[in-house]
A and B are shown apart, each in its own frame.
Chain A
Amino acid sequence: MLQVEGVVKSFDDFLAVNEANLSVQKGEIVAVIGPNGAGKTTLFNLITGQLPRDRGRVVFKEEDISELPPYERCRRGIGRSFQIVNIFPRLTVFENVQVAVLSHQRKSSTLFRPAGNLAVVETGSLLESVGLSDKGKNVVGSLSHGDQKILEIAIALGNEPELLILDEPTAGMSPEETFATIELIKRLARTRGLTILFCEHDMDIVFSISQSIMVMHQGRTLIQGKPEEVRNNSEVQAAYLGGE
């Protein structure tokens, strides 16, 4: 479904991503791992279009989306949650998700009907599926960190994406929250037929739920393969797993 081919991105003189390759099949759960600074978030930004790449291609569902702005890529079916909680601070939980749903329904520019009456059902069911429906009216500032990260995911789901990209979805969570979030992600993938691409530091999670793992080091792709292959690969062990 998603192919990233030889993508390069540098900031002034710093080469953040250097010939990265990634392949994601439909229905898979794929993880990207690597030490801090390996370029994982930059890679995600290149895939979703937040950053333009210097060289290389991003192909989604057989279409070259390398030149498209972020909102176009989103409309084609890519949803994304951010590593640092990136929500709408002045809106309620309900309104946060509603923005995404309205965008998906192409109703963002409707002028003369009250927003409170639109997309209520869809937003409500989305909140329910992530377990936040009782907090709908809360302003986001009052949510716990874990809940905010779940809200991140809910917003990303508002556009009914086919590919969901999650940037460190459990960062900063307690073990109970982490477990619950991973179960949530697995359930969502099953019930909505999502393809998931994520990055994580917790290796237990990575190896337990991924079907394919891509390892990055200093902006390059070291290897991509099944968990067993990656675990046994000597280069990976040297660069990441063994040394740490």
Chain B
Amino acid sequence: MSGKLLDFKAAGFTFVLFLILLLLPPFIPRFFVYILGLIYVTSLLAMSLNLLVGHGGMYQFHHAVFYGVGAYAVALILTKTSLPAWVAFIGGPILAALTGLIIGWFCVRLTRLYFGMLQISLGSLIWAIVYRWYKFTGGDDGIHGIPMPRFLSSLNSSYYFILIVLALSFFLLYLILKSPFGSTLQAIRDNPQRCEAVGINVRRHQLRAIVIGTFFAGIAGVLFVVLERSVFPDLLFWVLSLEIFIMCLLGGWFTFAGPMLGAAITVALRTFVGKYTEYWTLILGVLLILLIFFLPEGVMGYFLGVFKSRGKGMAERRNP
């Protein structure tokens, strides 16, 4: 790892990509604008999970709950109260992080599989309540037609908003990962026992990571509502939690931007495959099996590996 914060080539590339994406909407069909928006939301969700799974080594098996809590918080504040929109937009992530703190506090005291199982049970409880509380949450139907402030009235303006929030979150997550907090988190992932022996309060650190990860999941939830103007219980369902896991795996969970790639591929595939067949789940399953057998480091992990060995090869040729 170089001491530099930014690898300038990668940073430049990312910035240019951001500009291109920012300028796209007038030139592409509405449908693509929508799909890109969906990709951005899912990317943020996947990256928030990967902070905990790929970089933190925790069995965060029901991450979707925090995403759903964020989304429902926005929906409920905007439909049931007359509070201004910014309250909803900030309330979503805060409520998600609070939920993360409570659930996390119970989970960090357990080792991996139990951590995951407890989270699934607590998360399912929340799902069950949302699913059944028809009067408050709309139950099975969800809530639709959520009003948005005027600056977000069109699809394009929603697109810009989502992209900018995504870019900011991306940048923040990068800073966090490169900070001592991030390197300690990765050290905990690799060897929690050693960390304890070195004076690190592993549980407290993991809990802090959970609060951060669920906060960003909450932001993703807010962005979802901005895009869709509705919420439904599926946002909190365990199947979604596992799908996000797959996105991280697909993209490469030891890399930073891998999950984003995984999310993009998954959403794109789902949309375009969905046009030809209604058996997307089958294809996802087959894709997952192929991944497990042939590409366990994920797409990005694979390419990084290829680059690294090519780079080493070239270096060796220069300095025999």
Instruction: List residues of A whose CB falls within 8 A of some B CB.
Output: 48-50, 69-71, 74-75, 79-80, 82, 86-92, 94-95, 98-100, 102-104, 107-118, 120, 137, 155-156, 158-159
Q: Is B193 an interface residue, CB under 8 A from the partner?
A: yes
The answer to whether A103 touches B200 (Cβ under 8 A) is yes
CB-defined A-B contacts under 8 Å, sample of 14:
A50-B197, A69-B196, A71-B198, A71-B200, A80-B197, A82-B194, A86-B193, A90-B186, A91-B186, A99-B198, A103-B198, A108-B200, A114-B3, A114-B5
CB distance from B171 to the nearest CB of A (A): 11
> Which residues of B from 196 to 212 have beta carbons under 8 Å from A?
196-202, 205, 208
B196 touches A116 (CB 8 A): no
Q: Which of B180-199 contact A (CB under 8 A)?
A: 180-184, 186-187, 190-191, 193-199
Main SS class of interface, B:
helix
* Assembled-state Cα–Cα distance A31/B109 (Å): 35
CB of A111 to closest CB in B, whole Å: 5
A137 partner residues in chain B, CB cutoff 8 A? 1
Q: How many residues of B contact A (CB 8 A)?
A: 31
Which residues of B pack against A, CB within 8 Å? 1-5, 175-176, 178-184, 186-187, 190-191, 193-202, 205, 208, 254
Q: Would A118 and B180 count as touching, CB distance under 8 A?
A: yes
- Known contacts: A115-B180, A115-B183. The answer to whether A99 contacts B1 by CB under 8 A is no
Q: B194 contacts A159, CB within 8 Å?
A: no
Q: Please name all residues of chain B whose beta carbon is closer than 8 Å to the beta carbon of A104 when the two chains form the complex.
A: 199
Give CA–CA (A155, B201) in the complex, Å.
17
- Give Cα distance in the complex from A50 to B198, angstroms: 12
19 further contact pairs, Cβ within 8 A, besides A75-B199, A88-B194, A91-B190: A48-B197, A74-B197, A74-B198, A86-B194, A88-B191, A95-B1, A99-B184, A99-B200, A100-B198, A100-B199, A103-B195, A103-B199, A103-B200, A109-B184, A110-B180, A112-B176, A114-B175, A137-B1, A158-B198
